[in-house]
């Protein structure tokens, strides 16, 4: 409680706050303030000691646990991690509760799908949620679809951005990626012990556009996003959806937001590729393809490239 109040004061103060001033406002001794500051530092926060007092090296939108109200005991914030997925796995194996969230300001080894790296520049929002959904493993891909839908809704309500979903797990704005989802689970006798869903959202960062087009919220709107507010909005939506989780409803909602269905697509796994017309999503979140030979095939995993009709152009069809 005391640490929460100290953090609140520091985060809201534009100037460094002197120890005696903090002890006066909280009516505790200077030694007590110093001890709390040391404990906050040990928990990974950077608090600078200047001649004028203490200064917290965060911005007002930094998603510090105390900003999340009754959820705060399940929020773990780190300035830097190798990957939030690794930390979430450690916490999950130690038995942390459903809905535990691990946030990192920066990741040294942020992971993307298909063994790719996820660049984690400052200003983005990078977190993993530990879920104990009490569901069979087969349903977990549908949980990822639910995450994508709630990200679309949060982008709309917090930033006024109209995003859509791309199979399997991407959130795009006009063909450019604004958020990605990666999940890992551990299973016992077909029941999920935990499912860790890792989410990277380009909010106030300038994403590197290496081989795939990407965009951030600030690039689209010119306005910085309050990242803690965004995360609170998303967690609230997602918690509500999971409390009354309906795979069938999620699939239907996903289809309505999809930019994949109705497109000619190429699906690449680590071992093979196939091409077809994306015609449906099955009850487990698999993508149903109509193949050129008239057969149907359902794919559950892989990278999906949308093939644009190359009308009026001679070069190869563009892929997104």
Question: Residue 129: beta bridge partners?
Answer: 101, 197
CB of 118 to ligand BTN, least distance (A): 4
CB of 196 to ligand BTN, least distance (A): 9
Closest CB to ligand BTN among residues 37, 151? 151
Closest CB to ligand BTN among residues 34, 78? 78
Spatial CA neighbour of 259 closest among 130, 195, 165: 165
CB of 308 to ligand BTN, least distance (A): 21
Q: Any alpha helices (H) in 135-288, and if so which ranges? A: 140-159, 217-221, 227-243, 247-257
Closest CB to ligand BTN among residues 198, 247? 198
Q: Any alpha helices (H) in 244-313, and if so which ranges? A: 247-257
Closest CB to ligand BTN among residues 172, 220? 172
CB of 193 to ligand BTN, least distance (A): 19
Closest CB to ligand BTN among residues 182, 195? 182
- Residue 43 CA to residue 238 CA, distance in Å, equals 27
- Dump the DSSP string for 69-93: GGGGGGEEEEEEES-HHHHHHHHHH
205: Cβ contacts below 8 Å, ≥ 6 apart: 121, 122, 123, 124, 216, 218
Residue in the shown chain whose Cβ atom is closest to ligand BTN: 180
- Residue 283 CA to residue 57 CA, distance in Å, equals 47
Spatial CA neighbour of 235 closest among 158, 172, 309: 158
CB of 185 to ligand BTN, least distance (A): 14
Residue ranges that bind ligand BTN, judged by CB under 6 A? 83-85, 107, 110-113, 116, 118, 126-128, 170, 180-182, 198-200
158, 230 contact by CB (below 8 A): yes
CB of 86 to ligand BTN, least distance (A): 8
Closest CB to ligand BTN among residues 66, 78? 78
């Amino acid at each position: 409680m005391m640490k929460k109040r100290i953090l609140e004061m520091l985060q809201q103060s534009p100037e460094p706050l002197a120890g005696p001033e903090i002890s006066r406002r909280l009516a505790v001794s200077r030694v007590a303030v110093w001890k709390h500051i040391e404990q906050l530092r040990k928990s990974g926060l950077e608090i600078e000691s200047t001649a004028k007092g203490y200064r917290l090296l965060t911005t007002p939108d930094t998603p510090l646990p105390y900003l999340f109200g009754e959820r705060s005991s399940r929020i773990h914030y780190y300035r830097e991690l190798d990957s939030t997925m690794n930390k979430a796995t450690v916490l999950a194996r130690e038995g942390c509760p459903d809905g535990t969230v691990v946030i990192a300001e920066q990741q040294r080894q942020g992971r993307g799908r298909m063994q790719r790296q996820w660049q984690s520049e400052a200003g983005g929002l990078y977190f993993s949620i530990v879920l104990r959904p009490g569901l069979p493993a087969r349903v977990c891909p549908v949980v990822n679809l639910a995450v994508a839908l709630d990200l679309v809704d949060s982008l709309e309500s917090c930033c006024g951005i109209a995003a859509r979903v791309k199979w399997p797990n991407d959130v795009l704005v006009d063909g450019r990626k604004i958020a990605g989802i990666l999940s890992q689970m551990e299973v016992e006798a077909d029941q999920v012990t935990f499912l860790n869903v890792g989410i990277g959202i380009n909010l106030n960062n300038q994403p590197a556009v290496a081989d795939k087009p990407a965009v951030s919220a600030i690039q689209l709107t010119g306005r910085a996003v309050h990242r803690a507010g965004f995360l609170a909005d998303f967690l609230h939506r997602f918690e509500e959806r999971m409390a009354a989780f309906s795979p069938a409803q999620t699939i239907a909602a996903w289809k309505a937001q999809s930019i994949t269905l109705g497109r000619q697509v190429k699906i690449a796994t680590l071992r093979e590729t196939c091409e077809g017309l994306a015609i449906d999503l099955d009850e487990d979140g698999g993508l149903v393809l109509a193949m050129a030979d008239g057969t149907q095939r359902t794919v559950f995993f892989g990278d999906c490239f949308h093939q644009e009709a190359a009308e009026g152009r001679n070069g190869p069809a563009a892929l997104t």
